[in-house]
């Protein structure tokens, strides 16, 4: 069967930075990397994005995974989902920000993006490796309003009930034991709400998709 993959990014991220590597997950498939700003403008209905209804596989990373779960009622029956570093609640006790201060940061980010980008980068002193400059450069080009809206979405949305799915598509969850942005406990809390999903921990991986997938 011909495969069509749609990739949804995390906050302030551009998955096309790793396009050549990520496409190896299914080298003969058609791959579409949704831009961060395009995803943000469709958070309430991701299936309005071009190609989402007909995609055989949808990959959601971080914020993209949360938005995908919140849009689960629109999921086609045979569509496969791959969730990278997903979570139930970004503002859980395991994380560094609670709802109140993240909402404050979301407002502040719309006028000055550097402070939160710097705070986010501090979580990945070693993990960023050679990607730090590329990631930051891409984030700096994004709309401050879109960055703020993404943080507000993280603060205001969580998964607190089972995600129903009666179709034949697979749901797989990959997460890194070394992830400092989305701690493994934040991902494992999803097991109660995705009883049909396959969970796999990558012992040597952190938050970044190429490490999680290969």
Q: 142-163 pLDDT, tens per residue?
A: 999 999 999 999 999 999 999 9
| Same domain assignment for residues 120 and 209 | no
| Same domain assignment for residues 167 and 70 | yes
pLDDT beneath 50: ranges in the chain? none
101's CB contacts (< 8 A; 6+ apart) are none
| Same domain assignment for residues 12 and 55 | yes
Q: What is d(CA 66, CA 84) in angstroms, rounded to the nearest whole number? A: 10
Domain that holds residue 109: 99-149
- Domain annotation covers residue 154: no
Residue 11: both structure tokens together? 């906050």
Total count of domains within the chain: 2
- Domain annotation covers residue 17: yes
| Same domain assignment for residues 56 and 17 | yes
> Which residue, 130, 149, 168, sits at the end of a domain?
149
| Same domain assignment for residues 206 and 110 | no
Please choose, from the candidates 82, 85, 83, 84, the residue with its C-alpha nearest in 3D space to the C-alpha of residue 3: 82
| Same domain assignment for residues 117 and 25 | no
> Which residue, 149, 173, 191, sits at the end of a domain?
149
| Same domain assignment for residues 74 and 177 | yes
| Same domain assignment for residues 110 and 136 | yes
CB-based contact 168:140 (threshold 8 Å) = no
- Count the alpha carbons within 13 Å of 208 in the hemisphere toward its beta carbon: 22
Structure confidence at residue 149 (pLDDT): 97
| Same domain assignment for residues 24 and 80 | yes
| Same domain assignment for residues 40 and 138 | no
- Domain annotation covers residue 73: yes
| Same domain assignment for residues 86 and 171 | yes
- Domain annotation covers residue 137: yes
Please choose, from the candidates 21, 23, 16, 63, the residue with its C-alpha nearest in 3D space to the C-alpha of residue 39: 63
| Same domain assignment for residues 11 and 43 | yes
């Amino acid at each position: 069967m011909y495969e069509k993959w749609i990739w949804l990014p995390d906050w302030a991220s551009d998955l096309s930075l790793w396009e050549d590597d990520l496409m190896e997950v299914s080298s003969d498939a058609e791959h579409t990397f949704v831009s961060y700003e395009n995803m943000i403008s469709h958070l309430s209905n991701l299936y309005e994005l071009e190609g989402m209804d007909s995609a055989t596989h949808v990959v959601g990373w971080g914020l993209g995974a949360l938005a995908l779960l919140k849009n689960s009622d629109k999921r086609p029956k045979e569509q496969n989902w791959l969730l990278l570093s997903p979570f139930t609640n970004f503002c859980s006790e395991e994380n560094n920000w609670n709802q109140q201060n993240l909402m404050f940061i979301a407002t502040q980010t719309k006028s000055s993006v550097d402070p939160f980008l710097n705070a986010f980068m501090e979580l990945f002193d070693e993990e960023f490796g050679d990607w730090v400059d590329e990631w930051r450069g891409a984030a700096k080009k994004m709309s401050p309003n879109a960055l703020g809206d993404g943080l507000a979405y993280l603060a205001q949305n969580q998964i607190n009930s089972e995600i129903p799915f009666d179709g034949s598509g697979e749901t797989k969850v990959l997460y890194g034991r070394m992830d400092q942005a989305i701690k493994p406990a934040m991902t494992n809390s999803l097991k109660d709400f995705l009883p049909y999903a396959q969970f796999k921990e990558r012992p040597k991986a952190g938050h970044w998709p190429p490490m999680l997938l290969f």
